[in-house]
Amino acid sequence: MITAGIDIGHQSVNAVILENDRIMSHATRVIAGEVEAAAKTVFCGILERAGMKAARIERLFATGVGREKVTFADGNRTEMLSHVRGSHWLFPAARTVIDVGAEGSRILRCDSEGNLTNFVMNDKCASGAGVFLETVAEMMQIPLSEMGPFSLDSSNRVVLTTTCAVFAESEIVAEVHRGSAKADILAGVHESIAAKIAAVTKRVGIEAELIFTGGVALNIGVVRALEKQLEHDIRVPKNPEIVGALGAAILAKNSA
Amino acid sequence: MITCGIDVGSLSAEAAIFVDENLEAYSLIRTGPDSAATALSALKVALEKTDILQQDIEFTVATGYGRVIVPFADRNITEISCHAKGAHYFHPSTRTILDMGGQDCKAIRCDENGKATNFIMNDKCAAGTGRAMEVMASLLQIQLEEIGARSLKIDGDPLKISNTCVIFAKSEVLSLMREGVPINEILAGLCDSVAERVKTLVQRVGIEDDFVISGGISKNLGVVKRLEQKLDVCAHIPEEPQIVGAVGAALFARELLEKQKSSEKRP
């Protein structure tokens, strides 16, 4: 059976085509302009990559904050459920899923069957979200993808005293003027984001294994800082940003 | 008796010079990267308006966010105490003070002598602070000083900004701009959301008349008017609301100097 999942986040669209137990193709695209148009572009892209026509997709589910905007979907599921399902499919031992996207984080708990049992989300404050990393990348003139590896060279991590992303910006400017090393500032930023995510995670309670999904999981600096703060190993899927879309495709497959 | 109060805040710094019980001169400058240098230039700007020399000042109290790094101060006192004392100087029947500063917001209760009795503060989040206003002014490419008046030039109720976080509110404002919503309408929404946010702070500390607002945002009528409506009170705003902390510090300096002098007289 061939199914597809489309995940509409605040900033990007992710899509996956699933054939039985194999990911046929996947894609990610930043939303510019209309959500529906972006969803269509990504969907056509994964079809082309998988070398198939739209008619071969037996069921398509949408998920994410903009899931209701995907008019060509056969159904939709919440991003909480999709992330848990996707994580559990990738790592059957998954019990805690930490999903951090552009505009917020969700900490999800599931049972051995991959059923969502509890969750907490933070979408009110940017301090633990991907946009903060983007702002810092721009300020420090470093590509987003290089921030993580770069920060691991830090030998004298800067301590950011403020939580708020707006206040942290001024603190970072002050550190730059003070001549602090770029790696040390970035390590401080990652520590601060990890602290915010860890606080939410602890509220839900931790059970191993921990899976980290969403775009922020691509930053190894945040992953390491979070592992230290939670005193647990964290598993990161190869493509952490597509886990929601994958989960939607799995849910589409199982809804028969 | 010449005393001085210095308030080094996150965005602005002020100095107040008192000769006996009278405010002789004051200054208001932008905080630079070096707090000590900022404090000194605030003092110099104030002294230039008088015949007083720096060495004539008998006692200096520093307050505010940067108070511990004012090298020429004799004492540091928290901005909570100084704001209460300063507000009491300008308006003796003050019982509740809302200080809306650059990087924090404090609701303070005080007694009939201007002594702070309780306070609640938000210094963790930029929403509702002067910094948020600056971020929005630069996003909308208008002057900070224009915001208040322009926000009142609308018909009907202000639109609702749904995000509290300044970073998220920025994207919200950007999409409102893209939709062609008039700037004044957006400003009204922003002022209303600041007023809403500080309202809860004041309510938590409890409001008792008279109510005084100090700090930079109190110069924004769009916020003040909406806050007055929400709280159903009339706010008193000192002529220069940004010097209330520095004035309070100078008055503390006076008290401390008197105490010092009287103890010196003792055999």
Structural domains of chain A, with CATH: 1-91+239-256 (3.30.420.40), 93-236 (3.30.420.40)
- Nearest-Cα distance to chain A for B170, in Å, is 11
When pLDDT is averaged across residues A160-166 and rounded to a whole number, the result is: 90
Q: How far apart are CA B3 and CA B56, in angstroms?
A: 9
For residues B258 and B219, state if they share a domain: no
CB A256 within 8 A of CB A232: no
Q: Are the beta carbons of B167 and A162 separated by less than 8 Å? A: no
| Among chain B residues, CA nearest to A135 | B167
Least confident of A26-30, A85-89, A185-189: A26-30
| Among chain A residues, CA nearest to B103 | A167
According to the model, what pLDDT value does residue B32 have? 83
In the predicted structure, residue B8 carries a pLDDT above the cut 80: yes
Mind listing the pLDDT tens digit for each residue in A111-131? 999 999 999 998 899 999 999
Please state whether B21 falls in left (phi above 0), alpha (psi between -120 and 50) or beta: alpha
Q: Are the beta carbons of A167 and B132 separated by less than 8 Å? A: no
Q: Are the beta carbons of A166 and B132 separated by less than 8 Å? A: yes
The one-letter code for the residue type at A129 is: A
Query: Residue A190 CB: number of other CB atoms within 10 A?
Result: 27
Cα Rg of chain A, angstroms: 18
β pairing state of A96-101 and A210-213: parallel
Query: Please, what is the end-to-end C-alpha distance for chain B in angstroms?
Result: 22
Listed residue (A190, A56, A124, A22) closest to B167, CA to CA: A124
For residues B229 and B253, state if they share a domain: no
| Among chain A residues, CA nearest to B166 | A166
For residues B107 and B233, state if they share a domain: yes
CB B198 within 8 A of CB B169: no
| Among chain B residues, CA nearest to A175 | B33
In the predicted structure, residue B255 carries a pLDDT above the cut 80: yes
Domain extent for B35: 2-85+243-265
CB A33 within 8 A of CB A47: no
Confidence of residue A178 (pLDDT cuts 50, 70, 90): confident
Residues in chain B: 267
Q: How many CB contacts within 8 angstroms connect chain A with chain B?
A: 38
For residue A164, CA distances in Å to A170, A240, B110, B220, B222 come to 10, 26, 29, 23, 25
Q: Which residue has the higher pLDDT, A103 or B18?
A: B18
Phi and psi at residue A37, to the nearest 5°: -65, -45
Mind listing the pLDDT tens digit for each residue in B196-209? 999 999 999 999 99
Q: Are the beta carbons of A167 and B167 separated by less than 8 Å? A: no
In the predicted structure, residue A179 carries a pLDDT above the cut 70: yes
Q: Which residue has the higher pLDDT, B139 or B66?
A: B139
For residues B46 and B73, state if they share a domain: yes
When pLDDT is averaged across residues B16-35 and rounded to a whole number, the result is: 92
Query: Residue A98 CB: number of other CB atoms within 10 A?
Result: 29
**Pure H helices in chain B:** 35-47, 79-90, 130-140, 147-152, 166-178, 183-205, 221-231, 244-265
pTM of the model as a whole: 0.84
Q: What is the CA A197 to chain-centroid distance, rounded?
A: 12
Q: Are the beta carbons of A131 and B164 separated by less than 8 Å? A: no
According to the model, what pLDDT value does residue B37 have? 92
Residues in A touching B168 (Cβ below 8 Å):
103, 126, 131
For residues B110 and B30, state if they share a domain: no
Whether the CB of B133 is below 8 Å from some CB of chain A: the reply is no
Assigned token pair, B5? 């109060």
Q: Could you please report the per-residue DSSP string of B35-73? A: HHHHHHHHHHHHHTTSS--GGG--EEEEESTTGGG-TT-
According to the model, what pLDDT value does residue A156 have? 95
Per the prediction, chain A carries an average pLDDT of 94
Whether the CB of B267 is below 8 Å from some CB of chain A: the reply is no
For residues B72 and B109, state if they share a domain: no
- Here the contacts of B239-242 (C-beta below 8 Å, separation 24 or greater) are B239/B90, B240/B26, B240/B28, B241/B213, B241/B214, B241/B215, B241/B216, B242/B12, B242/B14, B242/B28, B242/B214, B242/B215, B242/B216
In the predicted structure, residue A81 carries a pLDDT above the cut 90: yes
Q: How far apart are CA A253 and CA A249, in angstroms?
A: 6
Phi and psi at residue B64, to the nearest 5°: 90, 175
Q: What is the CA B208 to chain-centroid distance, rounded?
A: 19
The structure tokens 């938590």 sit at B204
- Nearest-Cα distance to chain A for B97, in Å, is 24
For residues B65 and B104, state if they share a domain: no
Q: At B48, which CATH number? A: 3.30.420.40
According to the model, what pLDDT value does residue B73 have? 95
In the predicted structure, residue A174 carries a pLDDT above the cut 90: no
For residues B129 and B29, state if they share a domain: no
In the predicted structure, residue A190 carries a pLDDT above the cut 90: yes
According to the model, what pLDDT value does residue B24 have? 96
Confidence of residue B67 (pLDDT cuts 50, 70, 90): confident
When pLDDT is averaged across residues B147-155 and rounded to a whole number, the result is: 95
For residues B123 and B229, state if they share a domain: yes
Least confident of B68-72, B87-91, B257-261: B68-72
Residues in A touching B103 (Cβ below 8 Å):
167
Whether the CB of B132 is below 8 Å from some CB of chain A: the reply is yes
For residues B154 and B134, state if they share a domain: yes
Q: Are the beta carbons of A125 and B103 separated by less than 8 Å? A: no
Q: Give all strands (DSSP E) within chain A, no chain letters.
A: 2-8, 12-19, 22-30, 59-63, 75-76, 96-101, 104-110, 116-122, 210-213, 234-235
**B113 CB burial (10 A radius; 0-12, 13-18, 19+):** exposed
| Test mutation, B35, B165, B172, B175, chain A, max A CBs within 10 A | B165
| Among chain A residues, CA nearest to B179 | A33
| Among chain A residues, CA nearest to B175 | A33
For residues B115 and B39, state if they share a domain: no
For residues B119 and B200, state if they share a domain: yes
Looking at the 3D structure of chain B, how many domains does it have? 2
Per the prediction, chain B carries an average pLDDT of 94
Q: Are the beta carbons of A177 and B164 separated by less than 8 Å? A: no
In the predicted structure, residue A256 carries a pLDDT above the cut 70: no
Whether the CB of B103 is below 8 Å from some CB of chain A: the reply is yes
